[in-house]
Amino acid sequence: MPPNPDPGRPPRWPPHLTYLAQPRYHPSVSNELRAIVCPIYTERAQPPHGPHRPPVAIQPISDPSHPAHGQCGLFAAKKIHPRTLILDYVGEVHCDDRPHSDYDLSLYRTGDHISVGVDAQQAGNEARFINDFRGVKSKPNAFFQERRTERGELRMSVWSGSEPIKKGDELLVSYGKSWWRARNSTGDEGLDCSEGPESSE
């Protein structure tokens, strides 16, 4: 049985989405791959940041010049020091093909080209609200990086860059050029309220 969703949703969490405090594993992930991604699998809920929420807040974008104006972004709730783990990108870990999801990050690829992804389109955490830096700032102030938790589980995580992030600043990453090429090819240039990246480039 997969872990239960965390009932403690953060403020401004969309009611139609499931909030997850830890990854949920899809049946497409084989036992062999699960042993690689999560060597010590347990159904006991283990929040990725202990008992406290990450230092972030979901906020509506009010700046008319922002590419995601009228939508939402993720902002620093307090000062974040350089090269600091901010939060994990939590969602559904899967091995099936999801070409229509804008929230599917590559987590692991086997030697025989089987891809393991983490998709936060329907269920995830605050990280799915992170916007791309293009059209907002000259460069991103955060980046994606894989890490292993204390219990050995492989996660995609969000880290601050080489400079501190001030309280109230929006967290911005690079979605990667491939994400924008794929999106522009569909003719859809609008940004969803919970816009998320497709790659960790």
- To which H or E segment does residue 156 belong? strand 154-160
Which tens digit of pLDDT belongs to each residue from 78-104? 999 999 999 999 999 999 888 888 899
Q: Which pLDDT score, from 0 to 100, does residue 184 have?
A: 55
Q: How far apart are CA 33 and CA 19, in angstroms?
A: 24
Does 18 or 194 have the greater pLDDT score? Answer: 18
Is residue 106 pLDDT above 50, yes or no? yes
Which residues, at least 6 apart from 178, have a Cβ–Cβ distance to it below 8 Å? 198, 199, 201
pTM over 0.85: no
DSSP labels, 49-108? EEES--SEEEEE---TTSTTTTSEEEEESS-B-TT-EEEE--SEEE-S--TT-SSEEEEE
CATH placement of domain 18-185: 2.170.270.10
Scanning the chain, the segments in alpha helix (DSSP H) are: 31-37, 177-185
Q: Is pLDDT above 60 for 30? A: yes
Task: Check residues 78 and 176 and name the one with the higher pLDDT.
Answer: 78
- In this predicted structure, what is the pLDDT of residue 178? 53
**Alpha carbon distance 79, 112 (integer Å):** 43
Q: What confidence score (pLDDT) does residue 102 get? A: 85
DSSP 165: B
Six-digit token pair at 47? 């929040």
Tell me the sheet residues that pair with 109: 115
Domain boundaries in the chain? 18-185
